[in-house]
Amino acid sequence: MKVSVRIEPEAEHQIEHLGAWWRANRPAAQSLKRLLRITYDRIASAPLAAPVYTELEGRTIRRVLIKKTPYMVYYYVDEDRREAVVISVWSAQRGEGALAVVINDKKSR
């Protein structure tokens, strides 16, 4: 199954901050945009291949590494719409991060 990839606003915000840091601290490295594009292409062509990270509100959250970085893309697949929805981009080195806050908030309700 091939799907389109949609980025949620919170993930866009995380990517903007990550991009600014990347440009300032990794000037010789490959473009973050290029690495993200490669990752999105991998997700689009095989959305169910990434390992399951957790379940949230009936959705299976998966995560995939952005190669050559410590960053993970967290997403779920909406099979009815044939799209992968990116909900967070976060570094494993920074701890659980923004996605954990969302998950813990939802679980406490």
- Strand-pair category, 59-65 with 71-78: antiparallel
Of the candidates 91, 72, 83, 100, the one whose C-alpha atom is nearest the C-alpha of residue 21 is 91
> Contact at 8 Å (CB) between 44 and 2?
yes
Single pTM value for the model: 0.85
- Distance, in Å, from the CA atom of 107 to the CA atom of 109, rounded to the nearest integer, reads 6
Query: 50 with 62: CB under 8 angstroms?
Result: yes
Q: Give the residue extent of every domain in the chain.
A: 4-108
In one-letter notation, the amino acid at residue 108 is: S
Per-residue pLDDT of the chain (109 residues; tens, 9 = 90+): 899 999 999 999 999 999 898 889 987 777 889 999 999 999 999 999 999 999 988 999 999 999 988 899 999 999 999 999 999 998 866 555 556 555 555 455 4
C-beta separation of 74 from 62 below 8 A: yes
Choices 3.30.2310.20, 3.40.190.10, 2.60.260.20, 3.40.120.10: CATH for 4-108: 3.30.2310.20
